Amino acid sequence: MINFRYHVVSLAAALLALAAGVVLGAGFLDTSATVGDGPDQTAAADPAVASFESGYVGRTGPTLLKKQLDGESVVVLTTAGANAADIKGVTASLGAAGADVVGQVVLTAKLLDPGGRQFAEGVAQQVGQDIPGISADGDSYARIGAAIARSLVADKTSEIDEAATTLRSAFVEGDLISLTTAPTSRASLVVIVTGPRSSTSGDQGVSLAGIAAALDASSQGVLVTGPSSASTPGGFLAALREDDQTGTLSTVDVANSPAGRVVVALALASEAAGESGSWGTSRSADGAVPAP
């Protein structure tokens, strides 16, 4: 029998979706008509509607998120151009769900630019040649991703050992990553926050897909999120969704919405439980919100 708590959570999720302008069964309203290459615009352009959404999420979010990620450790990775408010909001939602956010790391444009692939691959091979698990075979970004993964994540929360420190330092010195907040341990889960669509994000999205797949193989799961425009043609999420051959990565394309940041934490909990998916706008394959 479906219990009372299930009904409450289901109703709250539905109301949360409605608060952010969701058409049930179809996902968030498609905002492609209002999105350009500059800062993201959302369908809820009316400040009064935006205020309502923020207030509603503030009241319902804690109930929806409570204990969803208890005992999980998360490292937050960001791409160049990711919005500071999106990063802050996503991180806050992860914390509200009980996750231990162990650090924040930037994946630089130099790392993701296909033109810098050989340099990044050289760093990974040179420093990682004697470290188990970093193979010289396979796709370039798979090897690069394996080296980054070894420095940041594990299948369960782990101490940062000498190999991780060496790899991380090499990538920092090569200006391939930078440490906004240096990780205090190797995390079991990864959230990657991308920026809006740009003239180069499509190509960089393919690079990001390879790195994300390697991180996923070395951890309990990876979720990639960004603003709504990131899932339009040429955006990070559009490229990643097209390139994800295994279907093991989760994506959420509403990080620029207060309700969307709650969805990120719920989706990561689903990912940790072994259920990957694509959530958010009507461009998302699995609807607005993960099933409770």
The phi, psi pair for 278, rounded to 5°, reads -125, 110
Residue 15, domain extent: 4-116+178-279
- What does the pLDDT average to over 106-127? 91
198 located within any domain:
yes
169 located within any domain:
no
147 located within any domain:
no
200-211 pLDDT per residue, tens? 777 888 899 999
**Between 245 and 98, where is the model more confident?**
98
| Rounded Cα–Cα distance for residues 28 and 20 (Å) | 8
- Report the phi/psi class of residue 160: left, alpha or beta, with left for phi > 0 and alpha for psi in -120 to 50: beta
Q: Residue 144 carries which side chain, given as an amino acid letter?
A: I
46 located within any domain:
yes
User: Contact, 40 vs 196, CB < 8 A?
Assistant: yes
pLDDT beyond 90 at 11: no
146 located within any domain:
no
Classify 175 as helix, strand or coil.
Answer: coil
284 located within any domain:
no
CATH number at residue 207: 3.40.50.2300
Helix (H) or strand (E) segment spanning residue 214: helix 201-217
> Token pair for residue 246?
């295994």
30-88 pLDDT per residue, tens? 433 333 334 454 445 678 888 888 898 888 889 999 999 999 999 999 998 899 999 99
137 located within any domain:
no
Q: How many folded domains does the chain comprise?
A: 1
170 located within any domain:
no
pTM for the whole structure:
0.86
- What does the pLDDT average to over 251-255? 96
pLDDT beyond 90 at 141: no
Helix (H) or strand (E) segment spanning residue 260: helix 258-272
Mean pLDDT for the chain? Answer: 84
pLDDT beyond 60 at 237: yes
Classify 106 as helix, strand or coil.
Answer: strand
| Rounded Cα–Cα distance for residues 59 and 137 (Å) | 50
User: Contact, 288 vs 28, CB < 8 A?
Assistant: yes
User: Contact, 85 vs 255, CB < 8 A?
Assistant: no
Residue among 106, 83, 109 nearest 199 (CA): 109
